[in-house]
A = this chain, B = another copy of it.
Amino acid sequence: MDSPDADGLLAEQLLRLTRRVHRIQKHHLETRRLGITPAQSRLLRTLAHYGSPPRMADLAERLEVVPRAVTTLVDALEASGKVRRVPDPTNRRVIRIELTEDGGRALRELHSARRAAAEDILAPLTDEQRAVLGGLLDTLVDGTSVPADSASVPAGGADAARGPGRDC
């Protein structure tokens, strides 16, 4: 055991970083530039990853929020013309959400803005370090279902044997 508090310290760092990301996302990014809030941005991105227009409940699940929260977000996005509610012909209970052209445009702008913000945060890291970080984050984020192999990224190697990037 190194210091008795190693994980507590890591947690602290994680919290600080988390906070920073949060702030940047809020201030630096979507809100001002495009007139959409972070949550709306998240919904748009999620939407873009879907093949066919999802139902509200699908979005809720994917966003890990309660369905009611999606309603509000979609309300706002629809009001600003970024998405459209489309009735499902086979089941009149459900409505499907699809991206409008305007929404697609916003998404593209978002994407590049986000890249810039990432650069902002990641500036102190070398490319190698970024690769390593990517691998670790991947393990962390996907690690909910416990892969257990844990490829043990040995610091230097730019292994980054990441899964299929489902980002655009």
A interface list, Cβ under 8 A from B:
1-3, 5-25, 27-28, 42, 64, 111, 114-134, 136-144, 146-148, 150-155, 157-160, 162, 165, 167-168
Contacts and interface: CB of A to CB of B under 8 A. Distances in A.
Contact of A157 (B12, B127, B139, B153): B127
B20 A21 contact: no
15 contacts: A7-B118, A10-B134, A17-B140, A18-B18, A19-B64, A120-B146, A120-B152, A122-B140, A123-B159, A124-B142, A124-B146, A129-B139, A129-B157, A132-B132, A133-B133
B123 A153 contact: yes
B16 A141 contact: yes
Contacts of A120: 146, 148, 151-153
A119 B165 contact: no
A22 B18 contact: yes
B141 A126 contact: no
A136 to B, nearest CB: 5
Contacts of A134: 6, 9-10, 13
Nearest to A2: B127
